[in-house]
Structure 1
Amino acid sequence: MTPLRIALHQGPAGVPGTPDESLAALDDAVRRAAAGGADLLVTGEMYLTGYAVGDALPRLAEAADGPSAARVAKIAADHGVAVVYGYPERDGGRVYNSAQLIGADGSALANYRKTHLFGDFEMAGFTPGDTPVVQARLGDLTVGLLICYDVEFPENVRAHAVAGTDLLAVPTALMRPYEFVPHTLVPARAYESQLFVAYTNRCGAEGEFHFAGLSCLAGPDGVVRARAGTGAELVLADADPALLAAARAETPYLRDRRPGLYTALTRPVAG
């Protein structure tokens, strides 16, 4: 079983609405990731267009197989590195906050639509997705996709674990002052659901938002394998299948679950 080397591309917020600039920066990041032996690069949420796009969102949204997807596919194939990137997806009259996984050969492997929208901008601009678990196989690992706020719901991550996800790729646009999420919550999610979490945030100021950075790769033992600071950075670390097996044997949460006791999780919260 061969480890999968992950590159976390924590980029500056930049100028919203500039996908050409984002794609040029992605090409450079994937080239550097390839030089470091990476198999997979993960970007932040809404990477292609920027997050604070406001009323330009409908104009910037593209189909999952649109022109930007074709350019990402070429970048991945040129450098032999798989890519997970965030973007606004248009499907008919609806726009989704999406993340797509492109294989190292340029093939489209998985597309996920954010299921838990955060804040007024997302609630007003996006339709929530309704498919909680989206996966694809990369090397010896099954890779799943979530986006930012999604990972803060333990049910989402546990659903992936039960479905066989080994590595969760999570494009993120986490703002200050919520730094406790990458510091505390993400490693806890990795530990309690016994999988790797590649959490890639934006950084810097964009419109009214100030992104926290602190991208990380957390392991199934709760240990953070790599951590970015608060500025632009490319961080590499390995997701090792051997560590997954060892952690799951030592801390058998998935084996020892009692799903029959958890039916209350599907009930509305009293209020």
Structure 2
Amino acid sequence: MIIAVHQGPHARLPQALAAAAEKGAELVVTAEMGTTGYHIGAAAVAQRAEAADGPMAVELGALAAEHGVGLLYGYPERDGDAVYNSVQLLSPQGERLANYRKTHLFGDLDRGQFSAGDTPVVQAEFNGVRVGLLICYDVEFPELVRAHALAGTQVLLVPTALMRPYERIADLVVPVRAHESQLYVVYANRCDVEGELTYCGRSTVASPDEVVAKAGDGPQLLFAEVDPAVLARTRAETPYLADRRPSLYRSLTEGPRA
């Protein structure tokens, strides 16, 4: 499967989808909160938040269908009085396939704007590949990525709004997550400035044994091929998942036994 990462402004999304389709991409992944902006304040987030099947889903569904390309986008989701930092996956026909709410909130910036989601593993079948969804800070928790691997996720899609000076997450942590949990990680970042935050770009696509594609710090449409056969090979060569001994790790979630 060919995946394109749109590391650029949301206003350029129609052009990015057209270019991605022309080059054979099946799925375009965009950044965290790309439709509205991320560091815009709780009042603005609440004002722009909408339901998962709201106007933005309809608009972007039509755009995806126009170009015949799947799309993963970030947006503020309203559900009753709660607002979530969410991402939604659309099919190449514009249908809603999966919606995920960020479970691990990053500092006062996230906590001041959003409620935390409580569903750790959200997946969908996309063109014969099982994809999973996380958002930004979530991928920095190895337990959550491993939960995806154990649930059968082959390609983990991670929209992000990674700012300086945390480039090491894109450069070091993302490839390690792909290796230790034996799956692909597609990490899609921003590359602009928002208030006092400078987003560092460096979008990354990593397989279990290499960085498949890497963006710089400016606008870019990054292409990568993900191949499930690579996962079968690397899981056989480095069988972390098969060699686990869960009975030894109970203290991670249950606390130490008396």
TM-score over 0.5 (shorter chain): yes
1:192 to 180, 193, 197: 180
Cα-to-partner distance string for 1:27-81 (whole Å, 9 max, x where unaligned): 1111111011101100000010011211211101111000011011011111111
TM-score, with structure 1 as normaliser: 0.92
TM-superposition CA deviations, 1:103-148 (whole Å, max 9, x none): 0111100000000000212101100000000000012210000000
TM-score, normalised by the number of residues in structure 2: 0.97
Count of residues in Structure 1 that have an aligned counterpart in Structure 2: 255
Deviates more, 1:183-192 or 1:259-268: 259-268
Q: Which residue identity lines up with residue 234 of structure 2 in the other structure?
A: A
The alignment yields a C-alpha RMSD, in angstroms, of 1.1
Aligned to 1:100: 88
- 2:78 alignment counterpart: 90
Note if 1:5 corresponds to 2:2.
yes
Identity %: 60
Partner of 1:49, secondary structure, is coil
Aligned match of 1:149: 137
Distance in 2 separating the partners of 1:83 and 1:268? 40
1:229 aligns with 2:216: yes
Q: Which of the residues 11, 26, 29 maps onto 2:16?
A: 29
- Which ranges in structure 1 are unaligned for 5 or more consecutive residues? 13-21
Displacement of 1:220: 1.6
1:121 alignment partner in structure 2: 109
List gaps (5 residues or longer) in structure 2. none
The answer to whether the aligner puts 1:134 opposite 2:138 as a matched pair is no
The amino acid that maps onto 1:87 is Y
> How far 1:241 moved relative to its partner?
1.2
Counterpart secondary structure, 2:212: strand
Equivalent pair of 1:226/1:235 in contact (CA under 8 Å): yes
After the TM superposition, which parts of structure 1 deviate over 2 Å for at least 4 consecutive aligned residues? none
State how far apart, in whole Å, the 2-side matches of 1:74 and 1:257 are. 44
